[in-house]
A and B are shown apart, each in its own frame.
Chain A
C-alpha cells in the first residue's frame, strides 16, 4: 500500500486532518491506538463555548466535520453571552460522548481514501531530513510522503491521582512511550505540560431533586451552517457549589497533592485550574459553582464541571460529601492529572510543518494547546497543508483578520506557548469582525479555492451568499411607505417617524427586531441570514472602525518576507533579534512584529534589510 499522508492518532485533530487530506484526494493512513476510541472526548462531554464555538463554525465553513457531528449528537444546546454582544455570542453543546465517537467513526469510515489502522506508531523514518514513513509497534512499517502527528496527551503520558502514578495517555488508555525519542532525533525539542480532569460520578447516586436545573435553549442553536437536524432529546444540566466545608477538606489534603508537593513538573493552564488551585489562589472566595453534565443519554456517568483535581482518592471522596446533592455520590472514576510531552510550536511554520523536518506536521495538543476545537482546527489546516505541500502548492494560511483559526495558528507559531493554550475572544484584535454568524461568509470562498468543499456544500454556501446579498439589497432599497409605517408602529411602538426611510435605516435602530420588520415588509430569509444581516447593519459603525484598524496593519501584513531570507548578520539587528527571526522565519513584517521582544526600531531595520534582500511589498 502506498500512502500520501499518514496521520498518527485519531483524536479530534487526527480526524479532521485525515478528512481534509481525503477531501483533497490524498490516500491517507490513520493510525491510532484503538479504533473503538476514535474522537474520544478525554475530558468534558461538550463542544463549543466562548471562542471555541466560533472555531467550530469556521471548521464547518472550511468543510470540516466537527460541527455536523456535534449537531447530530448534541443533547443540550445553549447560546452563551447573548447579552454581551454579537461578537462574543457563542454556541455550546453537551454531547452524548459515545454517540459523538461513533458518529465521527462513521464519517471517517465513509471518507474516500482513508484507511484506519489500529496500531502504535513507535518511530519515524526519514531520508535527508525528509520523512518517509512510520514504524509500527506490531512490527512492519508504512511508507508515505508526509506524516501528521496528532497524539494529544499520549506522548510519555503520566497520570497522577494523589501520590499514585501510572503511565497512560488518559485513564483507560496506554501512553505512547517511544515516539518522543523519534521526534527528538529529528530535531524537535519537547517540553512537559499537564492538564487535569474531574472525577466521574454515578448518575443514580446524585440527589437531583435538590439541585438547580439549567435547561438548553429552544429553538436549539446549532453549529453547522447546513442545519443538520438535531433529533436527540434534550436533557438539562444541574448546578451545585462548593462551600467552606469543601474547602477545608481540600486544604487538609494539599500536602498529598501532586501539584503542591512537586511531583508534577509540567505547567498547567491557569485559566482552567484544578479545584485545589482555585482554593489556594482565591482563598477569599467562599464558594465555586459546579455544573453537573450528563455524559450521554444512556450513560450513567456524570461529569461535574469545576471539580478537576488530582488529590488522593480519599480526599476526593471526602470533599464530594460536603457538596449539596453529591453527599452520597459514587465515584466511577477518580479525577486525575496527566503530564505529557509537547513540542514548542515556534518550531513549526505557518502550515504547521516542522521547520527542521520536511513533510512532518504537528497538530493538536502536541503543539501545546488544549481543547477539542483547537485540536480539530489545527488538524484540518495540517491535513490541508500536507497535501498542498506534496503538490507543490503555496501554504494555506488564514489571516488573523480572517478567522480565529488564523489567530490560533499565528499565536502558536509566532509567540509560542508557556502554558497550555486555549482560545479566548480576547486573543483576537478583530473581535467584531470574527463572529460566529459570519464564519461561512468569511471563509467559504477561501475554502473553495483550497478545494475543501464538496460540490453540494459549495452550492449550499453560494445559495446562502445569494440570500444574504438579496436581503441586503432589499433592505437598502426599500422605502417605508405609509401602510408599512403604520403596521410597524403597531408591532413596535417605539418605531416612530420612519415613513420615507429605507428599511436598513429602520433596522439600524436598536429597538427594531429584524424578524418583526421583515414580516411586516413581507420579506423572508433564514434565521441565520437575518441574524447576520441585522448584526452587520446595527454594528456597521464599529465594524468599519475595526476595518480601519485592519487596514492599518495591512501594510505590514502585505510586506512578505521571503523564506530564503537570512537573518544572521542582518545589519543593525541585535544577535538576539537575528536569532529570533531566524527561528520563527516570519512570513510577513506583520508576523515579525508579533514576535515577543520586537521593537519598532528593530522592525524598521528589518524592513530595510528585506528591501535590500529583494522582498516584495
Chain B
C-alpha cells in the first residue's frame, strides 16, 4: 500500500553524512614557519630551483627578489644579497595557499644552476627568517594540510626512492592519485550500500525489508572483484629485494657473471682462485622487482682458515636465499654439495662445446638439479635470458596502465577489505541479520579508509611516523 521511499533518497535527504560521515572533511591550510630548500639535485645544471613554503614565503621572496607579481605566473626578478648586490637573475613564481603543493604559500626561484648561487640564496632566505627544510618536509606539509592523502604521500617517498623507470612510473601514477582515485571510487560505492543498510535499521518506520537488496549485493560483489584484482596484481615483495646467491667452485666465473648481470664492474675478477672471500651484494631492479644478488667465495674441499670461513658463510647465505644458483664451469665441473637446494647454471658458455653441454645437462638431470641455462660473461650469451627467466612469475602479468600496489601496508588493508566484504556477501546469502552484514561492510570500508589515511589507528600512525622521519 505504501511505496517505501527510496532509501538512497532517504539517506541523502535525511543526512547522508549522519549515516556515513567520512573522517576527513576538508583540507586545512597549513601556515607555520617558513622552510626553504633547493628542489633540484645539487651540482652544475642549467637551472636550479629553490623553493620556499610557509607563512612568510612571499614576504621573504619579496625581500630576496623584489617585484610585483601575479599568482601562479612566472616573473623575472633580480635576487640580491643583504648589501643589495646582485646574486642572480631569476624567474620567480608565487603560489598562494591553499592551492599549492604544500597547501601553504609557496614561492619557487628558478636560478642559474650554480652551486654557489643556490647556497647564497638559501643562506639569504634563512637570514630573512626561513629555515632549511628537513628531508621530505615539503611533502609532509602537503600531507598534513590534506593536500595529499596517505597513498599519495607514500608515493612521493617511492618516487624519491625509485631506482628504475618502471618503479618511477608506478610511483608517479600513484602520486597522480590513481590508486586513491580507484579506491576512493570503490569506497563511495560501498558507502552507498552501507548507508542503505544502516537506514534499514535506523529508520524502521519506513518498512524497507530487513536485508540488502539484490542490487546492493551486486555492487558489493563488483567492489570485491576489483579489490581482488588489485590484491592479485600487488607486488608487496617488490619493495623487498629478492635475494639470489651465486656459488660454486673457485674460478668458474661467478664474479664475472654478476658483473655481466648488473652491467657494472662491482666485483673484482681475477684469474687467481680465491679472489672473493666475503659475500658481496649487488642490488639491482628488474621491472618492479628489486634483486639483491650475492657473490661468494668459491667452494674448495681442502680450504682452511679464513677461506673455509668464507665458504661456510657462502653456504649459509645460499640456504637463506630466495634462490641459490650454483655456477659450473664446463671444463672441470664441480657439483653442489648434498643437501642444499640449488639451481645450476653453466658458466663460460663460450668454452662449452655442444656435446659438453648435452653431457652436463644430462648429468644435472640425473642429480635432480634444475638447469637454468648457459651463460658467458665474456660474450654476453645467455645473460639476458637468465635475468628474464629469474624475473618470470614475479613480474610478467602487469600490463601498462595497471595499478600495482607495492606497499606492504596497502596490500594488507586491501586484503582485509576483501576478506570483510566477502564475509558480508556470504552472510547476506546465508540470511544473516542486517546488523552483522552491515558490520562486515563497515569493516571493509574502514580498511579502505585506513588505506587512504581517512581512518587512523595506531598502526597507520606508526607507518606515517616511520616514513616521514617526523620528530627529527
Interface residues of A (CB under 8 A from B): 50-51, 80-81, 83-88, 241, 270-271, 273, 281-282, 285-287, 289, 291, 419, 424-427, 429, 431-432, 539, 542, 545-546, 549, 552-553, 555-556, 571-577, 593-594, 596-605, 607-608, 611
Contacts and interface: CB of A to CB of B under 8 A. Distances in A.
Which 7 pairs from chain A and chain B are nearest by CB? A85-B433, A85-B435, A555-B458, A574-B30, A88-B201, A87-B435, A608-B471
A573 B442 contact: no
Nearest to B433: A85
Nearest to A422: B18
Contacts of A573: 32, 144
Contacts of A431: 435, 438-439
Given A601-B143, A601-B468, A429 B3 contact: no
A270 B14 contact: yes
5 contacts: A282-B5, A552-B457, A556-B461, A600-B150, A608-B470
Interface in B231-247: none
A593 B456 contact: yes
Contacts of A426: 18-20, 198, 202
Given A270-B14, A427-B18, A573-B32, A84 B140 contact: no
A607 B453 CA distance: 16
Nearest to A411: B21
Given A85-B201, A88-B201, A426-B18, A549 B31 contact: no
Contacts of A594: 23
A595 to B, nearest CB: 10
Given A84-B201, A85-B435, A426-B19, A601 B13 contact: no
A576 B457 contact: no
Contact of A599 (B15, B144, B210): B144
Nearest to B20: A426
B273 interface: no
Contacts of A81: 201, 204
A594 B455 CA distance: 9
Contacts of A556: 456-458, 461
A88 B453 CA distance: 29
Contact of A600 (B5, B433, B436, B461): B461
Given A270-B15, A601-B143, A285 B5 contact: yes
B25 interface: yes
Contacts of A282: 5, 9, 13
A577 B103 CA distance: 13
A611 B470 CA distance: 12
A287 B3 contact: yes
A602 B458 contact: no
A603 B2 CA distance: 49
B435 A84 contact: yes
Nearest to B458: A555
Q: In the complex, which range does the number of interface residues on chain B fall in?
A: 35 or more
Contacts of B458: 552-553, 555-556
A607 B461 contact: yes
Given A575-B31, A604-B468, A432 B144 contact: no
Of A81, A286, A601, A607, most buried by chain B (CB within 10 Å of CB) is A601
B104 to A, nearest CB: 8
A539 B436 contact: yes
Contact of B144 (A291, A542, A602): A602
A139 B457 CA distance: 55
Interface string B177-200: 000000000000000000000101
Contact of B140 (A273, A555, A601): A601
B162 interface: no
Given A50-B201, A270-B13, A270-B15, A597 B460 contact: no
Given A599-B143, A600-B150, A601-B144, A555 B457 contact: yes
A597 B28 CA distance: 7
A285 B3 contact: yes
B302 interface: no
Contacts of B150: 600
Contacts of B28: 574, 576-577, 597, 599, 602
B459 interface: yes
B146 interface: yes
A606 to B, nearest CB: 10
B271 interface: no
Given A80-B204, A600-B453, A273 B29 contact: no
Interface in B406-438: 432-436, 438
B323 interface: no
Interface in B193-233: 198, 200-206, 210
Contact of A597 (B18, B26, B442, B461): B26
Contacts of A571: 32
B36 to A, nearest CB: 16
B465 interface: yes
A577 B104 CA distance: 13
Residue of B14, B23, B456, B471 with highest tally of chain A CB at under 10 A: B456
Interface in B134-156: 140, 143-146, 150, 153
Contacts of B446: 429, 549
Nearest to B465: A604
Contact of B436 (A85, A287, A291, A607): A85
Contacts of B198: 424-426
A574 B457 CA distance: 21
A574 B433 contact: no
Nearest to A435: B435
Contacts of A87: 435-436, 439
A572 B140 contact: yes
Contacts of A575: 29-32, 55
Contacts of A552: 457-459
Contacts of A425: 198, 201-202
Contact of B435 (A86, A545, A597): A86
B91 interface: no
B169 interface: no
B464 interface: yes
A475 to B, nearest CB: 21
A273 B460 CA distance: 39
Given A51-B202, A84-B434, 5 more contacts: A273-B13, A285-B9, A555-B458, A575-B30, A599-B144
A237 to B, nearest CB: 12
B398 interface: no
Interface string B443-457: 100100000010011
Interface in B370-396: none
A286 B3 contact: yes
Contacts of A546: 439
B348 to A, nearest CB: 55
B2 A85 contact: no
A294 B267 CA distance: 92
Nearest to A305: B205
Contact of B433 (A83, A271, A598): A83
A600 B464 contact: yes
A86 B436 CA distance: 9
A605 B439 CA distance: 31
A594 B150 CA distance: 17
Contact of B19 (A50, A419, A424): A424
A553 to B, nearest CB: 6
Contact of B29 (A572, A574, A599): A574
B147 to A, nearest CB: 10
B24 interface: yes
A499 B438 CA distance: 35
A436 to B, nearest CB: 12
Contacts of B460: 600
Contacts of A432: 435-436, 439
A537 B27 CA distance: 44
Nearest to A542: B436
Nearest to B438: A431
A80 B204 CA distance: 7
A546 B471 CA distance: 33
Contacts of B465: 604, 607
B2 A601 contact: no
